[in-house]
């Protein structure tokens, strides 16, 4: 039984299996039969989704980041700014 599966190791195993990523795949399995993974069933499902996901547009195939990752960058930056801004003002209020 395999232990400590990561998303990358599962993706590698799926690629080696010969499954057509553009086809249809029906999976009926238990998490126990796949083996332990770093985040349980979430890691296994994430690997299957990433393996079977088709690019939305042809130009996405040559991109380093997918479209969802590009679109999330502004929100990550805004969130980081809000944490920094809140931390700066909390420190000022404690000094008063």
* DSSP character string of 24-86: -------HHHH--BTTTHHHHHHHHHHHHPPPSSGGGGG-SS-HHHHHHHHHHHHHHHHHHHH
Mean pLDDT, rounded, for 2-23: 82
Asked if residue 6 has pLDDT above 90, the reply is no
Prediction pTM value: 0.52
Asked if residue 42 has pLDDT above 50, the reply is yes
Whole-number pLDDT of residue 65: 81
Alpha-carbon span 45 to 70, nearest angstrom: 22
Confidence tier at 94 by pLDDT (50, 70, 90) = low
Residues of the chain above pLDDT 70, percent: 88
Per residue in 18-38, pLDDT tens? 888 878 888 887 888 887 887
Annotated domain spans of the chain: 1-54, 61-96
Q: What angle do CA 81, 82, 87 make, to 5 degrees?
A: 100
* Cα of 39 vs its chain's centroid, Å: 11
Going by C-alpha positions, the residue among 71, 29, 60 that lies closest to residue 47 is 29
Per residue in 44-54, pLDDT tens? 888 888 888 77
């Amino acid at each position: 039984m395999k232990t400590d599966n990561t998303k990358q190791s599962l993706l590698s195993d799926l690629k080696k299996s010969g499954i057509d990523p553009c086809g249809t795949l029906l999976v009926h399995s238990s998490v126990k039969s796949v083996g332990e993974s770093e985040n349980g069933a979430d890691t296994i499902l994430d690997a299957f989704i990433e393996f079977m996901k088709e690019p939305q547009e042809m130009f996405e195939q040559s991109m380093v980041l997918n479209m969802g990752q590009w679109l999330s960058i502004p929100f990550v930056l805004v969130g980081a700014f809000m944490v920094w801004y809140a931390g700066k003002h909390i420190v000022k209020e404690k000094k008063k």
